[in-house]
Structure 1
Amino acid sequence: MEDRIKRNGEIGKMTHPKTNWQLWWKQMRPHTLTASFTPVLIGTALALPFGDIHVPLFLAMLLAALIIQAATNLFNEYYDYKRGLDTEESVGIGGATVHYGIHPKVILSLAIAFFAAAVPLGVYICLNSSWWVAVIGTCCMAVGYLYTGGPYPIAYTPLGELTSGTLMGIGLILIAFYIQTGTVTTASVLISVPVAILIGCIMLSNNIRDREGDQAHGRRTLAILLGHDRAVTLLAGMFTMSYLWVVGLVATGTVSPWLLLVLLSAPKAVKASKLFVGKTTPMQMMPAMKETAQTNTLFGMLMAAGLICAYFL
């Protein structure tokens, strides 16, 4: 393995020159971090009618969510390499080991350090809200590790989309809302559902791209079970459901019409779905994945903006 790492490092240095900070920033997979940022922002915006926002608590929650997701991405990097999923030909990964020759133990140590850094933030949050948050936070960290780690990784099953969407969409929004208000409302749960669906879309798009390679290494993801065409149809259906859900909430008077701002992100969802059609290689599907992640980001930011407008206007 040492020779392989050294060889890959030499290849990476020749084809992908980067400064140290660029290299490590790439390992955080920054395009995915909005899946943590936007739920925390939405949950906090939801709390506006309940009183003043505790800004330090919001910042602590935001930083903890980002750190835990970054750690999860690093665990993913480590275990995908250890299990042989990441190679010199792999597309769309951080590639610290296979492209840049960084020893996998360094990646693992950094992931653990990130988890450790999240602990004092969690303690601060609990001191200012409830110690039940510690239980939920611990579960989040455990799932972050078990997503690709452990003997039975979640990412190897058809439950990856459901797990990530529920945890990062519904879970983060409700925690961010709870630590500001001390309660969870029906509206906060309902508003979190379309965000959870779109985060699941990010995972599904990733699994569509990697379907053939994942299948060759024993994974049984939803994309593998459905096949390319039906998985893309499911992705389009999930996009549609997320928008219809918001429209339904507005139509029933559950939320303000300001939340219809999310419809401005619909063209990106349409584009993401179309870009997957007829594509056969991971490289061809990278633009579709990018559009899917951007749909989640734009949808989340517009939803937060709608909540803020509903309060102030």
Structure 2
Amino acid sequence: MLKKFLNYTEIQTKITSLFPFVLTLGILTFEGIKIQVLPTLVFFIGMFVFDLTTTAINNYIDSKDNGQDIGFTRKQGKVLIFTMFTIAMASGLYLVAITDLVILFLGMFCFAVGIFYTWGPVPISRQPYGEIISGVLYGYIIPFILIHANAPGHLVAFGYNQGIVDLQFNILNIIDFLIIFLPPTALTSSIMLANNTCDIDADIAVKRYTLPYYIGRKNAVTLMLGLYVSVYSAIVVGVILGILPWFALATLATIPVVIKQFNAYRADLIKRISFKFIIKNFIIIMFFYDITVIIGSILQ
């Protein structure tokens, strides 16, 4: 039963949320912000369970069209989805109760993206902006929520008095935030970009017009390279500005391996052969980025 559940929710894909989560904890430590155990734990539960839920929803809906075996009866699959959704929503609402409404609005965005990724009249996964949405969700929104839950006002301050809502944005901290978390954002987008590039012919057959359909395979591959350049550039800029520990530069040591994997990917754009190389690049870069930031935070 457990194995079926893990397959249904594709547990192996949850690295896209776990790596940014760990990175955020490292950044909070580096910036001297005390990590609040309760909101951090509540957010982790809600984030992780909802990530499982969205994957289950995707597989449940896709199985209607392709006849894929989800490991459960359709009724059981639906019960699991609603159970996980309830747990995630309860965690989110509790987090809002112990923080503020900023978490509510960001959480609503996350829930909307997760639900409408493959469901609805115009699923996000069938549109040319899927790469942007997925990258922003995992690379920026998850860290933003976690930072705000631990340090309200660090990025945005929320106030409410006699029907008047007051939002104050710390522009300098937000700029730093955008630089620091550009790597997980770009790398998450690269996964979806690679998937869509490899699937372009199959997608067209089912009227699924993703970004590579509009820009072509060659430009999609060039864009992939651009995403990797932006990742390493952001790390260098972050260190120069002092918003990342100097030890984070050790992440640059992954460049030769990443280039090798990228070349292997573009040599043969067949999903069963090439897609794994982009996944490996995500894991390699994010693992080193997380570890070097954490070590750098300890050494400072």
TM-score where L is the length of structure 1: 0.81
Q: How far 1:141 moved relative to its partner? A: 0.9
1:305 paired residue among 277, 291, 299: 291
Give secondary structure in 2 for the equivalent of 1:227: helix
Q: Distance in 1 between matches of 2:51 and 2:182?
A: 20
Higher mean alpha-carbon deviation, 233-242 vs 252-261, is at 252-261
Q: Which residue of 2 aligns with 1:59?
A: 41
Q: Distance in 2 between matches of 1:27 and 1:66?
A: 15
1:149 paired residue among 96, 119, 124: 119
Q: Which residue of 2 aligns with 1:74?
A: 56
1:21 aligns with 2:2: yes
CA contact (8 A) 1:67 1:118 kept: yes
Q: Which residue of 2 aligns with 1:129?
A: 99
Q: How far 1:106 moved relative to its partner? A: 3.3
Aligned length: 279
Q: How far 1:105 moved relative to its partner? A: 4.2
- Cα RMSD, aligned residues only: 2.1
1:45 paired residue among 26, 36, 40: 26
2:282 paired residue among 279, 296, 313: 296
CA contact (8 A) 2:265 2:277 kept: no
Give secondary structure in 2 for the equivalent of 1:151: coil
Instruction: Please list every run of at least 4 consecutive aligned residues from structure 1 whose deviation after the TM superposition is greater than 6 angstroms.
Output: none
1:272-291 equivalent positions in 2, closer than 5 A: 272-285=261-274, 289-291=275-277
Q: How far 1:50 moved relative to its partner? A: 3.5
Q: Which residue of 2 aligns with 1:159?
A: 129
TM-superposition CA deviations, 1:181-216 (whole Å, max 9, x none): 112223223211121010101111111222211110
CA contact (8 A) 2:28 2:35 kept: yes
Q: How far 1:280 moved relative to its partner? A: 5.0
Q: Distance in 1 between matches of 2:269 and 2:297?
A: 46
CA contact (8 A) 1:37 1:65 kept: no
1:33 aligns with 2:14: yes
Structure 1: runs of 5 or more not aligned? 1-19, 88-94
Q: Distance in 1 between matches of 2:74 and 2:257?
A: 36
Give secondary structure in 2 for the equivalent of 1:164: helix
1:205-284 equivalent positions in 2, closer than 5 A: 205-284=194-273
CA contact (8 A) 1:229 1:277 kept: no
Q: How far 1:41 moved relative to its partner? A: 1.5
Q: Are the structure 2 counterparts of residues 115 and 265 from structure 1 closer, same or farther at C-alpha, using a change threshold of 3 Å?
A: farther
Structure 2: runs of 5 or more not aligned? 156-172
Q: Distance in 2 between matches of 1:136 and 1:51?
A: 21
Q: Distance in 1 between matches of 2:256 and 2:46?
A: 32
Q: Which residue of 2 aligns with 1:140?
A: 110
TM-score where L is the length of structure 2: 0.85
Question: What letter matches 1:292 in structure 2?
Answer: I
CA contact (8 A) 2:180 2:243 kept: no
Percent of counterpart pairs with the same letter?
Answer: 24
CA contact (8 A) 1:266 1:295 kept: no
